[in-house]
Amino acid sequence: MASTLDPAGRGLTVGSSKTIGSSKAMRRDDRGWPSFEEAACRLFKSTSTKTYMLPNGSFQVAPSKVVDLRKVGDEQGTEIQSPPMSAARFQDALEPKVFRGEPGDAKVVARLYRQLIEDGFNGLTKLCYRGQGWEDETLYELATTLKQAPCEHLIELDLSHNAFTTNGLESLAEAVQMGALSALRILNLSHCPKLVTLPEAMTELMELQVLRIEGCVYLKTLPQGLIRMAIKELYVYNCHALIPTIPYLQLPTVTTVIQTEAASDDA
């Protein structure tokens, strides 16, 4: 039986038009299938208008390899987009939900979500969570998901213009130590004003070529292991606490330190 998931949130349908578990008397948040739909949108919701198909009960790898949820200008400060939940956390969140279809729907939904994580989210090449206002707890959530789905094909990760601290970034570093983001080439941490240092474990991103930390005004130190990396471009514009130490840092010989303002990437 063919099913279709519309990431714009218009419903999960089976066959041609029947919505599973529809009920006017019950809140949408209390129902199982809509909860799955919402969680799936967290994985792939972006500027793309493409839909994602679930033929014969299995989820096809998302045609788009990019999730771009950036907020710029006046958009910042609006509703925060939560990071995708890990399969284990989603299964816990599913327990109190009500299903009005087949008795085994809860198990089906949990299995579908796990497959989404492993076959879809894990195959992305770019994640952009710019300007979401994320704090440490939110970054913990993303790190937990990356421990299950390491995104080994991800080339670019944009976490700029957020409010997490070094403690939150430590959770991401733990995921890196477990093998996450092994192909990452571009990491954007610019304009995260609460960062004071970068975790040493981040130096295990051995494919990293571009590190953007401009506007991290309280960032004081960089990891000693940076010298072992292949970073070609290090952006430090407006890193007031860090710039005086730049001449004394042990950096890779291939690294160019860029202290002028880079072109805007808001477009």
**Stretch 17-44: mean pLDDT, rounded?**
64
CATH (residue range 125-267):
3.80.10.10
Give the mean model confidence (pLDDT) for residues 43-69.
Answer: 51
In tens, the pLDDT along 95-128 reads 888 887 777 888 888 888 888 888 888 888 999 9
pLDDT tens digit sequence for 214-229: 999 999 999 999 999 9
Domain limits of the chain?
1-64+73-122, 125-267
Distance between alpha carbon 44 and the CA centroid of its chain, in Å?
10
pLDDT above 60 (res 17):
no
Measured at the CA of 34, the angle between CA 64 and CA 101, to 5 degrees, comes to 120
Q: What is the 3-state secondary structure (H, E, C) of 1-60?
A: CCEEEECCCCEEEECCCEECCCCCCCCHHHEHHHHHHHHHHHHHCCCCCCCEEEHHHCCC
Q: Tell me the whole-structure pTM to 2 decimals.
A: 0.77
Matching residue, tokens 């085994």:
104
d(CA 16, CA 147): 37
Cα torsion for 128, 131, 135, 137, to the nearest 10°? Answer: -40
> pLDDT per residue over 83-101, tens digit each?
888 888 888 888 888 887 7
